[in-house]
Amino acid sequence: MQGWEAVRAEVLRRIRARDWAPGALIPGEEALAVEFGVARATVNRALTALAEAGVIQRKKRAGTRVAELPVRRARLEIPVIRLDVLGRGLPYDFKLLADRLALAPVPVAARLGLPEGQPLHYLETLHLAGGRPFVLETRWLNPAVLPSPPPDFAAISVNEWLVTHVSLVSGDIAFLAEPASAREAEVMGVAPGTALLVAERTTHGTAGSVTLVRLAHAPGHRVMMTF
């Protein structure tokens, strides 16, 4: 290995070996460039990568110091459900259970940052893997920010239409565990109260809040991430 990756590796080694302790200031880019016999830009590339990884913290004028508690970051690749199912080697299908305009309940409107009493598009989709319930998706869509003619959601899943036709800018996702409600139990064919992994997602586009989704996963479902 050579080049900026070599610099990154060596700096990382010294931090792990505690040559440079947590919280300590490390030599400046210029000094490291001289020591390693490379240009400053190369050192900069290496340190920028380490800073993105959370290993060091950099501030102009103040210099670079080793992070006190190295924050570990894991990346979640949010899959399109269809591909998630196919990736497990199972045939995919879905059923549209509800598709109507409805007034948003207060907590929904609040989460989307919309005024109360606004009519939203409500969709309920049951995703199937190998014919068995996989995920129950309940979704509120803000029609105001969508391209005018919504397609037939019985033909293409909402999710896939959204990611390819709407500019999604930012959002957040939360995982929690909840007992299956009566409706969930019925639709998914499990006992009421069964522990379900639930993902709640809000998504914002350039024109405002787009959608609030709740995904209730079948028992035993695992969401995996690596770091």
Footprint on this chain of DNA (rule: CB under 7 A): 2-6, 28-30, 37-42, 44-45, 47-48, 51, 58-64
Residue of 114, 92, 77 lying closest to 202 (CA atoms): 114
* Closest distance of CB 21 from DNA, Å: 16
Q: Binding to its own copies by residue 10, rule CB under 8 A? A: no
* Closest distance of CB 16 from its own copies, Å: 4
**Gap between the Cα atoms of 83 and 214, Å rounded:** 18
**Gap between the Cα atoms of 144 and 107, Å rounded:** 19
Choose, by CB under 8 A, the member of 1, 37, 62, 71 that binds its own copies: 71
Residue 98 in tokens: 């509800």
CB 219 within 8 A of CB 196: yes
- Give the N- to C-terminal CA distance of the chain in Å, as an integer: 22
Which one of DNA, its own copies, none interacts with residue 70, CB within 5 to 8 A by kind? Answer: its own copies
Which one of its own copies, DNA, none interacts with residue 62, CB within 5 to 8 A by kind? Answer: DNA
**Gap between the Cα atoms of 89 and 174, Å rounded:** 27
Q: What residues numbered 80-99 form the site for its own copies, per CB under 8 A?
A: 80, 83
Using the rule CB under 8 A, give the single segment among 56-64, 73-81, 93-101, 106-114 that binds its own copies. Answer: 73-81
Q: What are phi and psi of 133, to 5 degrees?
A: -55, 135
Residue 39 in tokens: 């240009």
Per the DSSP assignment, residues forming a β-bridge with 154 are none
Q: Binding to its own copies by residue 192, rule CB under 8 A? A: no
Q: Binding to its own copies by residue 160, rule CB under 8 A? A: yes
**Gap between the Cα atoms of 2 and 153, Å rounded:** 52
Choose, by CB under 8 A, the member of 1, 62, 155, 174 that binds its own copies: 174
Q: Binding to its own copies by residue 38, rule CB under 8 A? A: no
Q: Binding to its own copies by residue 207, rule CB under 8 A? A: no
**Gap between the Cα atoms of 122 and 141, Å rounded:** 6
Which one of its own copies, DNA, none interacts with residue 148, CB within 5 to 8 A by kind? Answer: none
CA 122 vs. chain centroid, Å, equals 22
* Closest distance of CB 107 from its own copies, Å: 14
Q: Binding to its own copies by residue 73, rule CB under 8 A? A: yes
* CB atoms near residue 136 (< 10 Å): 23
Residues that bind its own copies (CB under 8 A): 16, 22, 54, 69-80, 83, 160, 163-164, 167-168, 170-179, 193-198, 206, 217, 219-227
